[in-house]
Amino acid sequence: MSNVNLAVVYYSSTGTNYELAKWAEAAGKEAGANVKVVKVPELAPEAAIESNPAWKAHLEATKEVPEATSDDIEWADAIIFSTPTRFGSAAAQMKQFLDTQGGLWANGKTINKVVSGMSSASNLHGGQEATILSLYTTMMHWGAIIAAPGYSDPVLFGAGGNPYGTSVTVGQDGKMVEDVEGAVKHQAKRTIEIAEKVKNG
């Protein structure tokens, strides 16, 4: 049994990053970690959500998922962030959540958290890598320890080979193009493994 607390913090409008988060949760539990999946608050106006049936349906389907708070960040030894890309950066909802953690940061509560990032976009070169790197820039300011998957397992090549974190392309039908479940699970287990080493000295 691991003594690591893993928070999987995600934003998802139509369900892709929620699915990534659930795979990370499953792998975390399999590795024996204490895992919680939390979503960052939705910021989009109701009119935008109402105009997109898939967005509206996903919001309704995940209404029971708890919203992320600073307490979740403080509780966690390891954090996996998952967000769609918006013009090569994290979605505003994720950015807003990160930007409101200044109180924790100022009190040294983000130091040595072990973190990893995942992303999605609607085309192969839609900014997934830049999005994960932008997450990591914030994490450097936090004093966190970045657990990128690199090429630490062959499963990563079948998922597209992103060394920064799992990323996936979502087709016009709303389905994932690449098979990334194995890569997500490997990334989660690697994050927990590193967090164990940090926590246990």
% of the chain exceeding 90 in pLDDT? 96
pLDDT at res. 63:
95
Let me know the angle formed at the C-alpha of 194 by 193 and 197, rounded to the nearest 5 degrees: 90
Using CA atoms, how far apart are residues 122 and 127, in angstroms rounded to an integer? 9
Residue with tokens 């970045």: 146
pLDDT at res. 124:
86
CATH of the domain at 14: 3.40.50.360
Chain segment 127-165, per-residue pLDDT in tens: 999 999 999 999 999 999 999 999 999 999 999 999 999
Using CA atoms, how far apart are residues 192 and 114, in angstroms rounded to an integer? 8
Confidence of residue 12 (pLDDT cuts 50, 70, 90): very high
- Residue 91 contacts by C-beta under 8 Å, 6 or more apart in sequence? 11, 13, 83, 84, 85
Confidence of residue 1 (pLDDT cuts 50, 70, 90): low
Secondary structure of residue 8 in the 3-state scheme: strand
pLDDT at res. 2:
75
Average pLDDT estimate for 72-79: 98
Which range of residues forms the domain containing residue 68? 5-200
Chain segment 113-123, per-residue pLDDT in tens: 999 999 999 99
Please tell me the chain's helix, strand, coil percentages from 3-state DSSP, rounded to the nearest 5.
Answer: 45, 20, 35
The answer, as to whether pTM is greater than 0.95, is yes
- Residue 131 contacts by C-beta under 8 Å, 6 or more apart in sequence? 83, 84, 85, 86, 88, 89, 90, 117, 119, 121, 167
Chain segment 166-200, per-residue pLDDT in tens: 999 999 888 999 999 999 999 999 999 999 999 99
Average pLDDT estimate for 70-98: 97
pLDDT at res. 14:
94
Secondary structure of residue 5 in the 3-state scheme: strand
Secondary structure of residue 164 in the 3-state scheme: coil
pLDDT at res. 174:
87
Q: Total structural domains in the chain?
A: 1
Q: How many helices (H) and strands (E) does the chain have?
A: 9, 7
Average pLDDT estimate for 91-104: 97
Phi-psi region of 40 (alpha: psi -120 to 50; beta: other; left: phi over 0): beta
Assess whether pLDDT exceeds 90 at residue 201.
no
Using CA atoms, how far apart are residues 92 and 151, in angstroms rounded to an integer? 29
CB 94 within 8 A of CB 67: no
Using CA atoms, how far apart are residues 97 and 91, in angstroms rounded to an integer? 10
